[in-house]
Amino acid sequence: MTLADGPVFRVLIVENNEQDCVAVRKALQRGQSRWEIEECVRGEDALEQIRKKPFHYHVALIDHRLPGMSGLVLCKRLLAEGIPVPLAIITGDGSEELAVEALKAGVADYIIKDPGQGYLQQLPVVLLDVVRKHQDIAARRKMEIERDKMIRELKETLAKVKTLSGVLPICARCKKIRDENGEWTQIEVYIRDRSDVRFSHGICPDCARELYPEMYDNEENLPG
């Protein structure tokens, strides 16, 4: 499969430094995956853009040092609103405290702009890994939701089903059944109250002959 045949990943770059933005764009275009790139300069604009298209982007690459709203604040706002876009923070002057805070908040990755710009070579791989992990998590969550729904529906179905099992004390003559309270109940009433079975009464041929012998005697006396 060639690069042109592969999937296209949509990324929003939130960066106010034009040189850094150009460098990131070129790094992604040189990578092994196809990227459809959109850009924002301010965190406030990125917030509104992502809100309008919450399922559009596969990943957002957000610089921490933005004018106005910082990258970390933008990420926290997006995460608090439950917008399903994986986020990666990129910064040139970050700290360990910032990295820990970002990852604890739910940011998928934290990237340092090293002076030698070695991060640009790894950036396409890092962002693709962020996308893949997010897709795997989303797929597992979907499976868990479907599984929980199936289990819930099964429990509801089983709750509606009444089954009879064990040994039933039954009268050998009238066929009444002794219930758990020691009372004798007609068999059809007992079964009806403990299952979804409903009875339609009729008379079998043997009983009909016993109850109405004259009808059958007349049939037997008819000429063949």
Q: What is the mean pLDDT of residues 69-91?
A: 95
pLDDT for 27: 95
Determine the Cα–Cα distance for residues 137 and 108; give it in Å rounded to an integer.
12
Q: Mutual orientation of helices 96-105 and 71-80 as an angle, nearest 10°?
A: 20
Q: What is the mean pLDDT of residues 147-156?
A: 87
Q: Grade residue 82 by pLDDT with cuts at 50, 70 and 90.
A: very high
Q: Using only C-alpha atoms, what is the Rg of the chain?
A: 37
pLDDT in tens, 118-131: 999 999 999 999 99
Determine the Cα–Cα distance for residues 126 and 198; give it in Å rounded to an integer.
65
pLDDT for 104: 94
> Which structural domains are found in the chain, ordered by start?
3-146 (3.40.50.2300), 177-221 (no CATH)
pLDDT in tens, 197-215: 787 878 888 887 887 777 7
